[in-house]
């Protein structure tokens, strides 16, 4: 197999399918995913963790909840890390066993907790003491004991973008690591809970393993303290977070380097380690295919106006994220340009003053590394369609999410048909 997104005979392909064929079949913009790339990254992450004896891998569904993607990852032996009942629905529908599901999330509603208990999911990651108390009562009322771990906030700066950093004490996630022993002791007494360990997640798109190792060493001390207090600690959830190279040439930690570090940092723990990778598994397996609408003169450099926008791929507007832009028919010529979408906001800009493949109106291009936090963060802003998703497998492709057109959104809206309630 050749690389998932590679130029062949002057045309960018997704596996063995030329991208113009996808544009002709489903239109643009469209997300295009490679099964081979998904399998390769899923296996690479697992292989990197070979030195870890007991582990459970749960794909962070938030990164890409497409049913076909989840089904493929289920085949690869991945469970799911979910943060809502909606994600649970997707994971179960994809065939992931309930027992493989971990429920993370700082704001689980009582209704969501009930749905997860009814489904019999594998583990709840508690974000605060009160959540544990409520869950214990709900589980006991059902004659269940809910397997749970306590998420701690180790107060570590992961060195990532502020909006995707989660392990500093001012962040909303977890309980302060210094309070964890006391909170754990109170929760461990509750009948409805089978409290079995702790969890952390310090941030996403992590490019440096040192903050992770520091976080793990703090968790190691906590595990020792909890054991000294008489608790049986059998599971530690290390969260997700391994970053990707979005800019050509960016150096990122390999799964092998990560696995070596994890094995070193956790060698005395004697627990089942749980991992929740999202971006690493899905990111490089997807591109956003787009058409150049116009090339417009700008004050400094021209604007390349594409038909994809911030509503389709929000990361540049939200996090100043870099997504490599490449032409589907590269000629070797280059240009310096701004790349922007049609949405009526100056923030709908993918790049400023970037050196890119020369393109003109009507050309196809892709934004790379868009398989994670791409389609799932899309919106219908400006009454734009929800972008479709296409999965490639060798020379075959399948539409795995339809374009949801404005007509469908309009059909779900209503001109008020006022009603009065009974006592009026
Ligand atoms: N586990 C927990 C508890 C998380 O909060 C997250 C991500 C993950 C696992 C997966 O992290 P990953 O392996 O993907 O780094 N929308 C942002 C990313 C938000 C990540 C939030 N939590 C972006 O596009 O960069």
pLDDT of res. 65: 98
pLDDT at 164: 76
* Ligand 1 atom with minimal separation from the 321 CA: 25
CA 358 to ligand 1 center in whole angstroms:
34
Give pLDDT, residue 424: 62
**pTM over 0.90, yes/no:** yes
Report pLDDT digits (tens) over 69-117. 999 999 999 999 999 999 999 999 999 999 999 999 999 999 999 999 9
202 lines ligand 1 (CB under 6 A): no
pLDDT of residue 33: 99
Region 128-147: mean pLDDT is 98
| Ligand 1 centroid distance, CA of 392 (Å) | 25
> Using CA atoms, how far apart are residues 238 and 236, in angstroms rounded to an integer?
6
Helix (H) or strand (E) holding 289: strand 286-296
CA angle 26, 29, 32 (to 5 degrees): 70
**Rounded Cα gap, residues 111 and 311, in angstroms:** 29
Lowest mean pLDDT segment, chosen from 27-36, 155-164, 214-223, 295-304: 155-164
ipTM of the shown complex: 0.99
CA-277 nearest atom, ligand 1: 13
Residue recorded with tokens 């059998």: 234
How many CB atoms sit inside 10 A of residue 83's CB?
A: 19
Q: Give residue 1's pLDDT.
A: 40
Residue 315 Cβ inside 6 Å of ligand 1? The answer reads yes
- Whether the CB of 373 sits within 6 Å of ligand 1: yes
Reported as a single tens digit per residue, the pLDDT across 195-215 is 999 999 999 999 999 999 999
Flag whether pLDDT at 287 surpasses 60: yes
Other beta carbons within 10 Å of 181: 15
Q: What is the Å distance from ligand 1's center to 384 Cα? A: 26
Q: Is the peptide bond preceding residue 303 cis, with omega within 30 degrees of 0? A: no
pLDDT for 162: 80
Name the residues annotated as catalytic.
344
pLDDT for the residue numbered 392: 98
Nearest residue (CA) to ligand 1, atom 16: 373
Please tell me if the CB atom of residue 319 comes closer than 6 angstroms to any atom of ligand 1: yes
CB atoms within 10 A of CB 374: 26
Q: Is the CB of 160 under 6 A from ligand 1?
A: no
Task: Please report the domains of the chain, with CATH numbers, ordered by start residue.
Answer: 5-33+283-411 (2.40.37.10), 35-282 (3.20.20.10)
pLDDT for residue 160? 81
- Cβ count near 300 (within 10 Å): 9
| 10 or 168, which is more confident | 10
Burial class (CB in 10 A: 0-12, 13-18, 19+), 345: middle
């Amino acid at each position: 197999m050749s690389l998932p997104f590679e130029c062949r005979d002057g045309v960018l392909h997704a596996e063995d399918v030329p991208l113009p064929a996808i544009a002709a079949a489903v239109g643009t913009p469209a997300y295009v995913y490679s099964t081979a790339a998904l399998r390769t990254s899923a296996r690479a992450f697992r292989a990197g963790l070979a030195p870890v004896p007991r582990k459970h891998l749960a794909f962070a569904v938030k990164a890409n909840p497409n049913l076909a993607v989840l089904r493929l990852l289920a085949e690869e032996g991945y469970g799911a890390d979910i943060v809502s009942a909606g994600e649970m629905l997707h994971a179960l529908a994809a065939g992931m066993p309930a027992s493989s599901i971990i429920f993370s999330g700082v704001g689980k509603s009582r209704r969501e907790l009930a749905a997860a208990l009814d489904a019999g999911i594998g583990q709840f990651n508690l974000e605060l003491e009160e959540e544990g108390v409520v869950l214990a009562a709900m589980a006991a009322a059902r004659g269940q004991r809910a397997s749970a771990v306590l998420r701690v906030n180790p107060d570590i700066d992961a060195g990532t973008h502020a909006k995707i950093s989660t392990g500093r004490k001012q962040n909303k996630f977890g309980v302060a690591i210094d309070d964890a022993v006391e909170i754990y002791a109170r929760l461990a007494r509750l009948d409805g809970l089978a409290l079995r360990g702790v969890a952390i997640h310090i941030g996403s798109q992590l490019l440096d393993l040192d903050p992770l190792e520091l976080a793990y060493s703090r968790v190691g001390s906590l595990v020792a303290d909890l054991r000294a207090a008489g608790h049986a600690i059998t599971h530690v959830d290390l969260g997700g977070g391994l970053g990707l190279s979005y800019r050509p040439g960016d150096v990122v930690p390999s799964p092998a380097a990560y696995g070596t570090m994890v094995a070193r940092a956790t060698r005395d723990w004697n627990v089942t380690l749980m991992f929740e990778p999202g971006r690493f598994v899905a990111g490089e397996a997807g591109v956003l295919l787009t058409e150049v609408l116009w090339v417009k003169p700008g004050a400094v450099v021209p604007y390349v106006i594409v038909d994809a926008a911030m509503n389709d791929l929000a990361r540049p507007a939200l996090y100043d994220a870099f997504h490599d832009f490449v032409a589907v028919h590269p000629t070797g010529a280059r240009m310096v340009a701004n790349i922007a979408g049609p949405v009526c906001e100056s923030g709908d800009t993918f790049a400023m003053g970037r050196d890119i493949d020369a393109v003109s109106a009507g050309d196809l291009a892709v934004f790379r590394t868009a398989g994670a936090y791409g389609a799932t963060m899309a919106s219908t802003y400006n009454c734009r369609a929800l972008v479709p998703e296409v999965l490639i497998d060798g020379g075959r492709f399948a539409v795995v999410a339809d374009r949801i057109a404005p007509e469908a959104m309009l059909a779900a809206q209503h001109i008020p048909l006022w009603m009065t309630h009974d006592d009026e």
